[in-house]
Amino acid sequence: MATIEQRANGTWRAKIRKKGYPSLSASFDTKADAQRWAAEIEGDMSRKRFVDTREAESTTLAEALERYEREVSKQKKGARQELTRIKTWSDSKYGSKSLAELRSSDLADYRDARLAEGISTNTVRLSLALISHLYTVAIKDWGIEGLSNPVAKLRMPKGSRERDRRPTSAELDGLLKAAAAIHHELPVVIEIAIETAMRRSELLTLRREHIKGKHALLEDTKNGSRRLVPLSLRARALIESLPARIDGSVFSLAPHSVSQYFLRACRVAKVDDLHFHDMRHEGTSRLFEKGLSIMEVASITGHKTMSMLKRYTHLCPDALADKLG
């Protein structure tokens, strides 16, 4: 049986001690409330339905995210971007809420507020995906009882329209000319990105020892799979045009520098709405236009599924018309 006692300040405390369960206590304004709570808890224990929610109720979102950052995020390739999302959540008004307290309605308010601020739907979806995975880890790996994933009940924002931006020949010519004036390696980086459809990080971490005749060996890719990327005659000529470096790297440029220089070159060349990642998009589309099959293209680009590959593939309608005759 529970012990009910009145405290000096006039409140009532209920204490429950039952073999096989943690000791529990709670304070209430009235004796009736204390008795009602004790009866409910003891009933759940008797029916084997009791769930200890104390850890879920005492762990704030910010505290859980701190542990998630330490145990999960640091093992990911996209750790830096995820750490930014973690800080945003921790510093928000939701950071002080407990894991048990956070509701799908809270996340719906967050979703709507961020979209109203002009934040892209993809950014909002990634932020919510972080919270969803946090709850999955808390439930499965950390064993925190009494939790349900609030994101599972949430209507996610619809994905933004897929980019279909491909540069014209004139735009590329102007871009390469502007790039050469900014840094001598930049036009080579741009052209090889198109020739190989490599990601920025894969391209700029390339070393001379990775070049094996007609292909490049990528040991560490975004999705963690080892990949062999065939090098066209043009790609091999571009690599050979660069002087050998003492440190063995093919390029001296850092990934963030390439992104900044690329945007600067676009401004100089008066090319609007073009990102460096669009070069991978362009390269992938060109592979299809050369007649390669889906499996052949996937083996080059490293895409795991057709849906992922389709996001980067917008074939030139004129080229398709020529095939039709």
DSSP class of residue 21 equals S
Tell me, what amino acid is at 21? Y
From 111, 183, 227, 280, active-site residue: 280
Q: Provide the b/e sequence for 230-249 (b: ≥16 CB within 10 Å).
A: ebeeebbebbeebeeeeeeb
Measured CA to CA, the distance from residue 273 to residue 271 in angstroms comes to 7
Marked catalytic residue, from 15, 275, 277, 314:
277
Catalytic residue of the set 199, 227, 281, 286 = 199
- What is the rounded distance in angstroms from the CA atom of residue 229 to the CA atom of residue 121? 32
Please name every residue paired with 26 in a beta bridge, in sequence order, or none if there are none: 14
| In the chain, alpha helices (H) | 31-46, 54-58, 61-71, 79-91, 104-116, 121-140, 169-182, 186-196, 200-204, 233-240, 255-269, 278-289, 294-301, 306-310, 317-324
Q: Based on the residue annotation, tell me whether 222 is a catalytic residue of this protein.
A: yes
Decide: 192 and 198 in contact? Cβ < 8 Å: yes
Give the number of other Cβ atoms within 10 Å of residue 204's Cβ. 21
| Active-site residue, 314 included | no
Q: Tell me if residue 93 is catalytic.
A: no
275 flagged as catalytic = no
Does residue 280 have an active-site annotation? yes
303 part of the active site: yes
Find the catalytic residue in 76, 153, 222, 256: 222
Give me the residue label for tokens 């009736």: 32
Catalytic residue among 111, 114, 286, 303: 303
Report the catalytic residues: 199, 222, 277, 280, 303, 312
